[in-house]
Structure 1
Amino acid sequence: MKKLFLGLPKGSLQEATVEMMKKSGYSVHISPRSYYPTIDDDEISVRLIRPQDMSRYVEKGIIDAGLTGADWVKEAGSDIRVVVSLVYAKQQLTKVRWVLAVPEHSAIRSVGDLQNKKIATELVNVTRQYLAERGVVADIEFSHGATEAKAPDLVDAIVELTETGSSMKANNLRVIETVMESSTQFIANHHAWKDEWKRTKIENLAMLFEGAIIARVKVGLKMNVPAGSLEQVLMKLPALRKPTISPLSEGAGYAIETVLDETVARSITPELKRAGAEGIIEYPLNKVIL
C-alpha cells in the first residue's frame, strides 16, 4: 500500500494542529511517550517533529510533507514547496510575530542603537539577515529558551515570538520593531510533489485543512420565512454565496440556509427574527470548502 509520510509539529502548535485535523475529518491519537501518533487513514503515516526541524526533514525526503511555521522554513533556508499557508496559532486564528524587544527602561530606541550590542534569540539566521539589511552589526547568540528573562542582565535585547504580546508586557519588555510575521505552512518535498499519487493526497489534505480553518470562524444558519417576509429577511442576510432558498410544503413560505461569520450571526439573528424569520437554528461547522 502506498503511504504519505506526514510530519505534525510537536510543542505549542501540536494541540491546535490535532484539532484542525479532527475538523478535517481525521482522528489523530498521540501517546505521551511516542513520537508516532496513530491516524485513521491507512494511507498516511504520521510522526511528531519539532517545528524547528520540520522543513529540513521535508527537504531531505525523510518525510513527504509537514506542518511548520514560515519562520522556521526561512531560518533553515530549506528548499521545499509551500502547498498552502494556514493562519492558525496556539491561542487564536492569527499570524504570530517575531519582535525585537528591549527592557522597558533601556536607552535603546531603534534598530540602529543595537550596533555592537548583544541579542538573544532562537531565530539566529533571520535576525542576522534582518540586522544586516539595516547595516547593523551585533553579537547574536542562540537562546535555548526563557529568552524574555535574559534581558537586561545577560543581553541588551531579544528577538522573540509573540502571539498576543502579553508575555512581553509581563516581563517588562518594550517592542521596537517586528522582525517578521509568520503563519503555519503546509509544506512538501519536491520529489513527493512530482509523484502523482502523493501530490493528490497532499492536495486533498491542503483543501481539507483550509476548509477546517475557515470553518472555525463561521457558522451555519437556517430558518423558515413566511412568503411575505422573504424580501426583508434577505436584505439583512449576508452570505459566502447567495443563500439556499427552498419552498416549504403547502405554500407555508420558504426555508433559508446560509453560512456566515459567527460574529455576524450574533448581530443579525435578532434582526432576522424581527424581519419575520422563524425557527432560526445556528450550528457549528467542521469544514467550509470555497
Structure 2
Amino acid sequence: MSAPTTGNRLKFGIPKGSLEESTVELLRKAGWRVTTSSRSYFPSVDDPEMRCSLIRPQEMGRYVERGTIDVGIAGRDWVRESDSDVVEVCEMVYSKVSRGTVRWVLVVSDDSPVRSPEDLRGATISTELVGFTERYFAERQIPVTVEFSWGATEAKVVEGLCDAIVEVTETGSTIRANGLRIVCELMESLPVMVANRAAWEDPWKRLKIEQIATLLQSTLRAEGMVGMKMNAPGERVAAITDILPSLKNPTVAHLYDSDWVSIETILPEKEVRRIVPELIRLGAEGIVEYPLNKII
C-alpha cells in the first residue's frame, strides 16, 4: 500500500467497554500496537494511516453512518438499534470473551398467558433495545408501548412493572432462574465490523479496511490453535496422518537422503495432550508444538 497522502487516514472506532481490552489485544496480535489512556478517548496507534477513537458500542453505528468514524467494531444488536445505514464488513467472533454470539429474546413471567408476540397487543414492554423492539412490533402491526430500561430488566416483569421484556442472553439460564419464560427469539447478535458507505466506496479506504479485516479475522482464527511438526518413518505416514486433525491435509515432506518424512499440521491446542502419546506410539519423533499468530 502506498504511503498516505493528504486526507488518506482511516478513522477507526474501538468499542469502549467490555470489548475494549480484547480489541486492543487483537489489534496487537494482528500487527497494530494501540496504546490507551484513561485520560483520553483517542488511543495512539503505530500506523500513520490510522486514527483511533474509543466509542461506546451503542453509538458506533450512528458515528460510522455520519462519517465521524470510517470503520468500527460493535455488536450487531447496537448497530440495528440505531438503525444505521452502514456496510457490514465482517463478523468478529471474539472467542476469549463472554460476549460471543448472544440472543435478544422476548420474555414474560412463567405464569403469563402470552405464547406469541401477537398476544402482547396493547402491552408494555421494557428493554434497553427500544428502537429495534419498536420496529419489530410495528413491522408485525402489533401495537405495544416500549419503555427504556436502565437495568435490572428481569425484575421489572417479575414485579409487574411491565407485561414483557426484551433482554439479552447467552444460555437463558438467568432468565429461567428468575421464574421467567422465553416466548421467542427476536435477534441473534455478535460483534461486527461496520464501515461508512462513502469510506467503503473510496478505493484507498476500502483497501485499508479490507487489510485490517483480513488480519483481525486471521488472528481470531488462530486463537486456540497450534502448529505441530514431527519426523516419522515413511511406512508410518498413513497411520499418523489418519489420527492428525488439520485444517485441510497435513504437509508431508521426505527428509534428505532418508526413508523418514517430516509431517506438519495445524490443530486445536486442546487436542495436543490427547494426540501426542498416540504419535509417540506410532513412531513419531522430534515432536514440536509452536504457537500461531494468524491463520489466513
The TM-score with structure 1 as length reference comes to 0.89
1:205 is aligned to 2:212 = yes
1:51 is aligned to 2:57 = yes
Deviates more, 1:188-197 or 1:176-185: 188-197
- In structure 2, the CA distance between the partners of 1:93 and 1:284, relative to structure 1 (3 Å rule), is farther
Report if the CA contact (8 A) 1:89-1:183 is conserved: no
1:190 is aligned to 2:188 = no
Q: Name the % identity.
A: 50
Deviates more, 1:85-94 or 1:132-141: 85-94
Report if the CA contact (8 A) 2:233-2:260 is conserved: yes
Name the CA distance, whole Å, in 2 between partners of 1:171 and 1:26: 43
1:79 is aligned to 2:85 = yes
Q: Deviations over 1:112-169 (max 9, x none)?
A: 3322221111212221232334443221111223323322222222111223434434
1:240 is aligned to 2:268 = no
Report if the CA contact (8 A) 1:54-1:66 is conserved: yes
1:260 is aligned to 2:290 = no
Select the residue among 159, 165, 168 that pairs with 1:158. 165
Q: Deviations over 1:60-119 (max 9, x none)?
A: 111111111221222222111111122237734841111112234444343233222211
Q: Which runs of 5+ in 2 are unaligned?
A: none
**Aligned residue identity for 1:18:** V
Name the CA distance, whole Å, in 2 between partners of 1:166 and 1:67: 28
**Aligned Cα root-mean-square deviation (Å):** 2.3
Q: How many pairs are equivalent?
A: 289
Q: Which runs of 5+ in 1 are unaligned?
A: none
Q: Partner of 1:35: helix, strand, or coil?
A: strand
Name the CA distance, whole Å, in 2 between partners of 1:128 and 1:194: 32
**Aligned residue identity for 1:243:** P
**Aligned residue identity for 1:194:** E
Name the CA distance, whole Å, in 1 between partners of 2:162 and 2:273: 48
The TM-score with structure 2 as length reference comes to 0.88
Name the CA distance, whole Å, in 2 between partners of 1:54 and 1:164: 26
Q: Partner of 2:230: helix, strand, or coil?
A: strand
**Aligned residue identity for 2:148:** F
Offset at residue 212 of structure 1 (A): 1.3
In structure 1, the residue matched to 2:148 is 142
1:214 is aligned to 2:221 = yes
Name the CA distance, whole Å, in 1 between partners of 2:97 and 2:276: 28
**Aligned residue identity for 1:149:** A
4+ long deviations beyond 4 Å: 263-267
Name the CA distance, whole Å, in 1 between partners of 2:55 and 2:208: 20
Name the CA distance, whole Å, in 2 between partners of 1:182 and 1:275: 45
Q: Partner of 2:158: helix, strand, or coil?
A: coil
